[in-house]
Amino acid sequence: MRSLTVDSLNPAVRNVQYAVRGELAIKAEEYRVILKEKGQNSGLPFDRVISSNIGNPQQKGLDQPPITFNRQVAALMEWPQLMQLAPNAFPQDVIARAKELHDEIGSIGAYSHSQGVPLIRQHVAKFIQERDGHPSSPDNIFLTGGASAGVSLLISMLISEPHKSGVLIPIPQYPLYTATLVQFSGAAIPYHLDEAHEWSTSIDEIKAALKKAKEDGIDPKALVIINPGNPTGALLKEETQREVASLCAEHGLVLLADEVYQSNLHRAAEFPFTSFKKVVCDMGSPVPLVSFHSISKGVTGECGRRGGYFECHNIPDDVRAMMYKMVSVGLCPPLQGQIGVDCLVRPPKEGDESYALWKEETTRIHKVLAQRTKLMAERLNSLPGVSCVDSPGALYLYPKIMLPEKAIAAARTAGKEPDAFYALRLLDATGICVVPGSGFGQKEGEYHYRLTCLCPGVDEYVGKLEKFHREFCAKYQ
C-alpha cells in the first residue's frame, strides 16, 4: 500500500513559501503557549508576545476596536429577531440597513449569488463611481473572501503555460504573490522598487524586467502594483500610474491593482491616493484592469470575516464569464464578509444617527496609526546602522539594517538568511515577532524587516527594538 508522505504531494504545494506566517510566526506561537501555561515561571525574558508580523488590527494584543456601526449591522443580520427583542438597543439607521439587507439576502446561513449579493454589488459600483467620477457596473464586481481570494483566482486563470507564463511583481512584495505563482506553476518576474526615492516605482526597472523575462523564454501576462505598498507603504504618483498603464497597454499586460490600503493614508494632503480605475478611465486607456479592495485593512480591520471585492475594467465578456464559472466552483463568498463590504462602501452619512460615533471611531484610528508610524520611523532612523522610509500609507515600516560581518557569518553558519537570523534573535530576546526582508524580496547584500504600526504601547515597544539592536550589534561587532 502506497503511503502518504510529503514527497508524494504536488511539488508546487511543497514549494510554496509564505513568510508572514512562517518560521517566526510559528516560534512566536510556541512562546505564546509557554507564557499562557507557565506565566512568570516561563523562563522567558519577556512577559508577552507582540505580533508585529501581520496586518491584523483586531488581533488580541493589538486590539484595534471594531467599528460599532459595522458590528451592529452584523449582529442584526446574524439574529434578525434582535430588531424586535431589543428595538431600543440599536440606532434607527442600523435597523434600516439590516432590514434592507435582510429583505435582499434572507438568512445569511444560505448561499448567495456566486458573484456576491446583487444589491451589495450595486453599492460597491456606486462607491467606485463616486470615488473616481467614472461609471462602474455591478456586473463587473465580484465579491470575494478577502482580496487574497480574488488575487488567487486571477493568477490561476492567467497561467496558461506552466513555468512559462509570468507575472511582474514588485520587490519587495507581499508574499501572497510569489506563493500563489508557485502554487499555480507560474513564473515570478521581479522588478525592484527604489528605496533611495521612498520606494518609488521605476518604469525603467519594469522595462528591464520585461526584457529579461522575454530573453529567458517567459511570457509576461500581467503586472502587479500594490498601492499603497506592502511592505513599503509607498504611494504612486499619478504620473507614474499613467506610465504604468501605458506600458501595460503596449505589452498586452493585465494590470492587477492591489489597493487594499487605499484608506490607510497618514499624510493624505501630501500623499493622496488615486485609484488605477480613475487613471485608466481618465486616459481612455484600453488596458485590462482588475482592482482589489478588502475589509481587512483601512479602519475596518475585519480580517477574520474574509470580505473583499475586485472590479473588472476593459475585460472581455467571455473572460468575465470564465471568472464567474470559477467563482461558482466555490459557491459563494462568506455572507458576513459581504455584509462587511456593504458597510465599507456605505458607511453612515452625516445626519444619520450613527454618524457621530462612526466619525469619532474612524478619526481616532487614523490619527493613532499616523502618530505611531511617524514616531517609530523617527526612532528607528536614530539607530546606528538603520534607515527607514517614513511610510505615507498602509500599516507597516520596512527598515533597512546594516548587519556586522560577524553576524552575517553567524547566520550563514546557522543556515539562516542574515535578516531572518536577526529577527529570530529579536523574538528570543523581546517577544517581538517581525518578518525578515528575505520573505518579501530585496537586493543582494541588503537586509530589512517589516513590522506593523498597529501595536499599542509604542514607546515601550520601540524601546525594546532599540535596546535589542544596540546589544545585537555590540555582540557581533
CATH superfamily of 6-64+360-476: Aspartate Aminotransferase, domain 1 (3.90.1150.10)
The CA distance from 380 to 451, in Å, is 11
Instruction: Indicate whether 461 pLDDT > 80.
Output: yes
**Contact criterion met (CB below 8 Å) for 24 and 434:** yes
The rounded Cα 213 to chain-centroid distance in angstroms is: 26
| 449-452, strands of its sheet edge to edge | 396-397, 449-452, 435-436
pLDDT confidence tier of residue 283, bands split at 50, 70 and 90: very high
Strand-pairing partners, residue 310, are: 142, 292
Q: How do residues 297-306 score in pLDDT, each as one tens digit?
A: 988 888 889 9
pLDDT band at 444, cuts 50/70/90? confident
Q: Are 397 and 450 in contact (CB under 8 A)?
A: yes
Query: What is the architecture, at CATH level 2, of domain 103-345?
Result: 3-Layer(aba) Sandwich (3.40)
Query: Mean pLDDT throughout 126-143?
Result: 96
Domain boundaries, the chain: 6-64+360-476, 103-345
Determine what percent of the chain is predicted with pLDDT higher than 70.
Answer: 96
Give the Cβ contact number of residue 30 at 10 Å.
Answer: 11
Nearest to 58 by CA among 361, 353, 338: 361
pLDDT classification of 182: cutoffs 50, 70, 90: confident
Q: Judge whether residue 390 has pLDDT over 80.
A: yes
For residue 21, what pLDDT band results from cuts at 50, 70 and 90?
Answer: low
Measured CA to CA, the distance from residue 26 to residue 31 in angstroms comes to 9
In angstroms, the Cα distances linking 313 to 98, 115, 165, 291, 333 are 31, 16, 22, 8, 21
Q: What are residue 220's phi and psi, to 5 degrees? A: -70, 125
Residue type, 433: C
- Of residues 62 and 330, more confidence is placed in 330
98 grid coordinates: 439590516
Residue 13, pLDDT above cutoff 70: no
SS (H, E, C) the chain: CCCCCHHHCCHHHHCCCCHHHCHHHHHHHHHHHHHHHHHHHCCCCCCCCEECCCCCCCCCCCCCCCCHHHHHHHHHHHCCCHHHHCHHHCCHHHHHHHHHHHHHHCCCCCCCCCCCCHHHHHHHHHHHHHHHCCCCCHHHEEEECCHHHHHHHHHHHHCCCCCCEEEEEEECCCCHHHHHHHHCCCEEEEEECEHHHCCECCHHHHHHHHHHHHHCCCEEEEEEEECCCCCCCCCCCHHHHHHHHHHHHHHCCEEEEECCCCCCECCCCCCCCCCHHHHHHHHCCCCCEEEEEECCCCCCCCHHHCCEEEEEECCCHHHHHHHHHHHHHCCCCCHHHHHHHHHHHCCCCCCCCCHHHHHHHHHHHHHHHHHHHHHHHHHHHCCCCEECCCCCECCEECCEECCCHHHHHHHHHCCCCHHHHHHHHHHHHHCEECEEHHHCCCCCCCCEEEEECCCCCHHHHHHHHHHHHHHHHHHHC
Per-residue cell: 119: 444589491
The tens digit of pLDDT for each residue in 327-368 reads 888 889 999 999 999 999 999 999 999 999 999 999 999 998
How big is the chain, counted in residues?
477
Residue 271 sits at the vertex; the CA angle it makes with 250 and 171, to the nearest 5 degrees, is 50
Q: Give yes or no for a cis peptide into 231 (omega within 30° of 0).
A: yes
d(CA 91, CA 69): 9
Number of Cβ within 10 Å of residue 233's Cβ equals 29
Average pLDDT, the chain: 89
Q: Tell me which amino acid residue 447 is.
A: Y
The number of C-alpha atoms within 13 Å of 227 and in the hemisphere containing its C-beta is 24
- Mean pLDDT score, 231-244: 92
Per-residue pLDDT of 29-60, as tens digits, reads: 888 889 888 877 888 888 888 888 887 887 87
